[in-house]
């Protein structure tokens, strides 16, 4: 495999891992994550989709708004993870992800509110991606995608969950050491 091709495959794995891990972080499930190219896509993260017009269908309630925001953040996460892997600092999400997020946002906010709303969610997603435990989970999931090419939602979730269990154990030990030093 050529170096450029390998780097592109790795970037795709980070992109898809970013989508999946962010969705897990936000309490959303995935059905499948893959880096096997299909027509028009280098990889895909299959989630349990919302309706693009969810607010139109169910009203603008706090619960609907929260679900819409999670959907949008999940869409933004792929490019952010890919850019971090590549050492870039992206100001905007990928065109496909942004267009999809815009369609979801259009059901929730007015045209005038849409750009600031999407920018706010993009910043929130960037902060989430850059949390150390989130990034470790993205790296672990991307490495497994590079190795296996496709993971079920359960397999991907297990990788994420294992990272968080380790993080919790480390944090608990650190807290216990602090308590022990106080006595």
**129-183: per-residue pLDDT in tens?**
999 889 999 999 999 999 999 999 899 989 998 887 777 677 667 777 787 788 6
- Domain residue limits, the chain: 3-182
CB-side neighbour CA atoms (13 Å) of 105 = 25
Give just the sign of the alpha carbon dihedral 96, 40, 55, 106.
positive
Q: In what order do the strands lie in the sheet with 44-47?
A: 44-47, 30-34, 150-152
Q: What is the pLDDT of residue 68?
A: 87
Q: Is the pLDDT of residue 94 over 90?
A: no
Q: Is the pLDDT of residue 55 over 50?
A: no
CB-side neighbour CA atoms (13 Å) of 100 = 16
Q: What is the pLDDT of residue 12?
A: 92
The C-alpha atoms of residue 167 and residue 160 are separated, in whole angstroms, by 11
Nearest to 85 by CA among 150, 20, 129, 28: 129
The residue behind tokens 């022990």 is 180
Q: What is the pLDDT of residue 103?
A: 87
- Looking at the DSSP bridge assignments, the partners of residue 45 are 33
The better pLDDT of the pair 46, 83 is held by 83
Protein fold of 3-182: Methane Monooxygenase Hydroxylase; Chain G, domain 1 (1.20.58)
- Distance separating the N- and C-terminal Cα atoms of the chain: 58
Mean per-residue pLDDT, 8-20:
92
Classify residue 158 as exposed, middle or buried by CB count within 10 Å of its CB (0-12, 13-18, 19+): middle
Q: What is the pLDDT of residue 53?
A: 47
Percent of the chain with pLDDT over 70: 85
Nearest to 139 by CA among 10, 4, 9: 10
Helix or strand (DSSP H, E) at 33? strand 30-34
Number of H helices, E strands in the chain: 7, 3
E strand segments, 92-178:
150-152
């Amino acid at each position: 495999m050529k170096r450029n091709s390998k780097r592109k495959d790795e970037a795709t794995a980070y992109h898809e891992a970013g989508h999946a891990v962010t969705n897990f972080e936000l309490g959303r499930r995935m059905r499948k994550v893959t880096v096997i190219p299909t027509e028009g896509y280098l990889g895909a993260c299959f989630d349990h989709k919302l309706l693009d017009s969810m607010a139109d269908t169910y009203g603008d309630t706090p619960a609907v708004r929260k679900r819409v925001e999670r959907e949008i953040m999940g869409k933004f996460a792929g490019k952010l993870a890919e850019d971090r892997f590549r050492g870039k600092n992206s100001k905007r999400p990928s065109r496909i992800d942004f267009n999809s997020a815009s369609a979801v946002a259009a059901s929730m906010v007015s045209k005038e509110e849409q750009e600031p709303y999407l920018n706010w969610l993009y910043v929130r997603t960037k902060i989430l991606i850059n949390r150390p435990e989130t990034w470790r989970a993205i790296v672990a999931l991307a490495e497994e995608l590079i190795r296996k090419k496709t993971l079920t939602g359960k397999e991907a979730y297990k990788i994420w969950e294992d990272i968080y269990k380790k993080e919790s154990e480390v944090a608990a030990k650190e807290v216990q050491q602090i308590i022990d030093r106080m006595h």
